[in-house]
Amino acid sequence: MPIWKALHVLSMFSMVTLFIGAEIFYAAAILRRDVPALAFIQSTLERWYLGILALAGMLAGIVFGLLAAASGGFDFVAGWLVVAYLLVAAFFGNSALIGARIVRVAKAAVAAEARGAPADEALTDLPANRGVILVLINTVIFAAIIADMVLKPF
């Protein structure tokens, strides 16, 4: 049914926008070693529950995608769908490994900012390139998922 496909695409585009947008801002603040900016980004994301909205968008997108596949007669173990499942798992794995550490440092930046601690204190636990690595890996994963969904190469 086309409605499931449309809802799948809308949910996934919303989720990618929220995840990659936040990751780009995290990476920029970390590269600049800008603790006030990192604290602002973290507190804004928490205040507006953007991480929860992004995760909800992803879960809704997965459900809508499965409904689109079921109603469209797709084979759930077609090669291109298996590749998509693996890429989504890679996204979650990358975010859990690198993203969780970045959020920990961002929360430390919020605490350091609140008590007026030196900027370097909050960022000692995170090399500057970690934020960029997270963004690059997740951008490649999302691009691969989009290409896989559009081209269905397998």
pLDDT tens track for 13-43: 998 898 888 888 988 888 888 888 988 999 9
Q: Which of 16-30, 31-45, 87-101, 114-128 has the lowest mean pLDDT?
A: 114-128
Tokens representing residue 128 in the block:
């500057």
Q: Which helix (H) or strand (E) holds 59?
A: helix 50-71
Q: What integer pLDDT is reported at residue 138 of this predicted model?
A: 87
Q: What integer pLDDT is reported at residue 99 of this predicted model?
A: 81
Q: 9: Cβ–Cβ under 8 A, 6 or more apart, which residues?
A: none
Task: Assess contact for 123 and 30: CB atoms under 8 A.
Answer: yes
Residue span of the structural domain in which 79 resides: 2-151
Kindly state the greatest CA–CA separation across the chain: 59
CA distance 58 to 20: 13
The count of structural domains within the chain is 1
